[in-house]
Chains A and B, each alone.
Chain A
Amino acid sequence: MLIKYNLLIKHKKEDKLILENYSNALGGGGDEKEIRELIYKDIKEYAKNIKIDPLGNLQGVQNKKTDKFILLTAHMDEVALIVEKIESSGLISFKSLGGFVEKILPGTNVVVGKDKIPGIIGLKSYHIMSQSERETSPTIKNLFIDIGASSDKEVNCKPGDIIYFTSKFFEQNDCYFGKAFDDRAGCSAITSILKDNEAKLSIAFSYNTQEEVGLRGGAVCAWNFENIVFNLNLEGTTCSDRDLDKNYSPSTELNKGPAITIMDRTSIANRKLLEFVCDIAEKNSIPYQFKQTVTGGTDAGYIHKTKEGIPSITLSVPVRYIHSPWGIISKYDYENYIKLAKLIVNNADKIKL
């Protein structure tokens, strides 16, 4: 028993380290090279036929004794910004790569382009703002990035370069703090599963690109595979449980376990699959919750409509302050998320769809 317990502790530590590395790595829609190569390094000895498809999705298989597959998916891209124009003053105007509440941006540390030039998102000094400027939240249109240049000649980046937040992962009060848990949590879950599982069904996987700009990678990811029994889509999802305004659903709550999506803007979970997942969670005493909003969409929106149709379900870790430089997830939710995902994979051969 002791040996097994130690193994569990070791796995938890490993799972955390994978998440930490993935959260700190950079990769926005269309610019997933850094995170993709990091993932590839982690999984290359555990999978076969690893390749990059035309959208940049990182795909492969782990063969078992059957030619039937469970498809694991998560997206690699995080919300980021893109350089629109270098102004003659040396300031950089930008657009968003994914959905933002734009008022979180002013006062943020960023890095720009391949050289990771440090900069900040500036906002006019409050003292010299007009009354109307003070009363309306700033939008991307009137924000800019400042790298300390005095003119455009000193700015060595180009329109189209990607801009990232620089938040570094840390643990505090049984929570993990960092950027990009949407969806590096899902990516690290797939990696953890590939490294250690007892699945009977073969595993196909796709780490997808460009989810945040409209589920682009997800639209094609399932086409390259045959004989998929079902898709487990691993995500990070909204969690607004600390808001004092009680008039709306918090979507999910921290420390109540991984969240299962019944329905969102892009898909409705397969009923049998839903029952199967809940049943596994209950039999193994893993806490879980249902996502209580129908906003947002995931790659499952395309995957379930691929070819002749693929039953799909989305399992998410709740992320407070998602789509911002600083998200918070619960350490326990994350552990239970990995545990439940592994149990689904290990029992995937038993499902009757």
Chain B
Amino acid sequence: MKFLENNIEKICKIQSITGFEDKLREEIINLTKNNIDEVISDKLGNLILHKKGYGKDKLKIMYCAHMDQIGLIVLKIEENGILKFTKIGGINPLTLYGKRVKFINKDENIYGIIGMKPPHLTEDESKVEKIDELFIDCGFKSYEEASKKIKIGDIAILDSEFLKLKNNHYSYIGFDNKAGVLTLLSLFDLLKDRKPYHDVFLVFSTQEEVGLRGAKVASFSIMPDIAIVCDVTFGDPRGNISDVKTSSGPVISKGPNYYPNLVSTIEEICTSEDIPYQIEIEARPGGTDAYITQITKSGIFSALISIPLRYMHTQVEIINLKDIYRASKIMYYLSLKEKIFEIEKLPENI
């Protein structure tokens, strides 16, 4: 927990909008380079950290978390200096109106407000503004003034405060999937001073939010025996589709996407190591990098460990740091475990 508490704010405040993951990649390399056997960065920008195992019958275990987060991108600068924009990834459109945005990768701080009409001038309160009806106002008076500081293609996030809330909860933008990134970093920290039985590959993948792109090539190049994907899932306290809650432990998914024997081993680890966990059912594969790892090359045994998260794809996502720590503990014990599972065989005497 110490490692996570010391690093959560630093990691979260590095914005890594899809396609612009560089700074986060550099920071992860800085944090880990002295205690890892191999650092690989591939053509799609994935970062792969390799920790060698000592085991005689060791397997290749890939732990995969996507680095990218959703954001905004400037499309056009209007004559009067306001900016038209669209979203990168599935930002909740109901949390844009009247909000502050912060531009990323600029030499100076530039903020803008997404314009709204005050109550005095609003006729239809229930209308949901489409993104192309909205605009960003940085206080520029004209196109000329704006274009000195903003270019088409500039990226921004919805701005919010990094908050430590009650009960180990934290709120900020981008916990999807800084939660996964932090889980893998915590696993790195747990393995820092000891050798795992298996070969461990920590994959920080790119471009998940626009179609699971990074994970596809990363699993291709590693071709692991096992892929454990770490992402976030719905832990909304009101109106949730499952009973999953934040602070009640990481979530283990069941369904056709996930190899049952691997899932059982994960559950056994939780029980024997006294790690609280929750179960989520996914009747149909989809939504995370595990969708793609399962069907890479000739197939990879896959599982998904998720961190429950409130208010996904808003600027005020909430996670519980203990859930992240517990997820990394599961991965730690899995990396040490000599015999992970029996591969299903055909019966001999049929």
Type the 1/0 row for B52-83, where 1 means its CB is closer than 8 Å to any CB of A: 00000000000000000000000000101010
Type the 1/0 row for A143-183, where 1 means its CB is closer than 8 Å to any CB of B: 01011111000100000000000110010111101000000
Determine whether the beta carbon of B318 is less than 8 Å from that of A120.
yes
A99 to B133, CA, bound (A): 23
Enumerate chain A residues within 8 angstroms of B252, measured Cβ to Cβ: none
A120 to B99, CA, bound (A): 13
Enumerate chain B residues within 8 angstroms of A113, measured Cβ to Cβ: none
Of the stretches B156-164, B186-194, B197-205, the one at the interface is B156-164
- Tell whether B343 is near chain A: CB-to-CB under 8 Å: no
Determine whether the beta carbon of B238 is less than 8 Å from that of A144.
yes
A137 to B116, CA, bound (A): 13
Distance in Å: Cβ of B245 to nearest Cβ of chain A: 8
Distance in Å: Cβ of A34 to nearest Cβ of chain B: 19
Partner of B120, one of A102, A296, A328: A296
Determine whether the beta carbon of A127 is less than 8 Å from that of B119.
no
Q: Quick one: closest B residue to A167, CB to CB?
A: B100
Type the 1/0 row for A1-39, where 1 means its CB is closer than 8 Å to any CB of B: 000000000000000000000000000000000000000
Determine whether the beta carbon of B118 is less than 8 Å from that of A125.
no
Determine whether the beta carbon of A91 is less than 8 Å from that of B111.
no
Distance in Å: Cβ of B156 to nearest Cβ of chain A: 14
Partner of A148, one of B98, B110, B138, B165: B165
Determine whether the beta carbon of B315 is less than 8 Å from that of A107.
yes
Of the stretches B9-17, B88-96, B211-219, B324-332, the one at the interface is B88-96
Determine whether the beta carbon of B234 is less than 8 Å from that of A147.
no
Enumerate chain A residues within 8 angstroms of B78, measured Cβ to Cβ: 244
Q: What is the interface of chain A, defined by CB distance below 8 A to chain B?
A: 89-91, 99-104, 106-109, 118-128, 134-139, 144, 146-150, 154, 166-167, 170, 172-175, 177, 238, 240, 242-244, 248, 251, 255, 293, 295-296, 320-326, 328
Determine whether the beta carbon of A322 is less than 8 Å from that of B166.
no
Determine whether the beta carbon of B316 is less than 8 Å from that of A126.
no
Enumerate chain B residues within 8 angstroms of A177, measured Cβ to Cβ: 100, 111, 113, 139
Determine whether the beta carbon of A125 is less than 8 Å from that of B98.
no
- Tell whether B127 is near chain A: CB-to-CB under 8 Å: yes
Enumerate chain A residues within 8 angstroms of B115, measured Cβ to Cβ: 242-243, 320-321
Partner of A125, one of B97, B125, B236: B236
Which 4 pairs between the two chains have the least Cβ-Cβ distance?
A148-B165, A148-B169, A107-B95, A175-B139
Q: Quick one: closest A residue to B100, CB to CB?
A: A326
Enumerate chain A residues within 8 angstroms of B80, measured Cβ to Cβ: 242
Distance in Å: Cβ of A31 to nearest Cβ of chain B: 21
Determine whether the beta carbon of B117 is less than 8 Å from that of A137.
no
Partner of A123, one of B95, B167, B168: B95
A89 to B246, CA, bound (A): 12
Type the 1/0 row for B220-238, where 1 means its CB is closer than 8 Å to any CB of A: 0000000000000010111
A144, A154, A242, A320 pick with most chain B CB within 10 angstroms: A242
Determine whether the beta carbon of A124 is less than 8 Å from that of B125.
no
Distance in Å: Cβ of B341 to nearest Cβ of chain A: 31
A154 to B237, CA, bound (A): 15
Distance in Å: Cβ of A166 to nearest Cβ of chain B: 7
Determine whether the beta carbon of A107 is less than 8 Å from that of B166.
no
Determine whether the beta carbon of B100 is less than 8 Å from that of A325.
yes
Determine whether the beta carbon of B166 is less than 8 Å from that of A125.
no
Determine whether the beta carbon of A107 is less than 8 Å from that of B238.
no
Report 12 cross-chain contacts, Cβ distance below 8 Å, ordered by A residue.
A101-B118, A104-B99, A107-B315, A108-B316, A139-B125, A148-B165, A148-B166, A148-B170, A173-B140, A175-B139, A320-B137, A324-B98
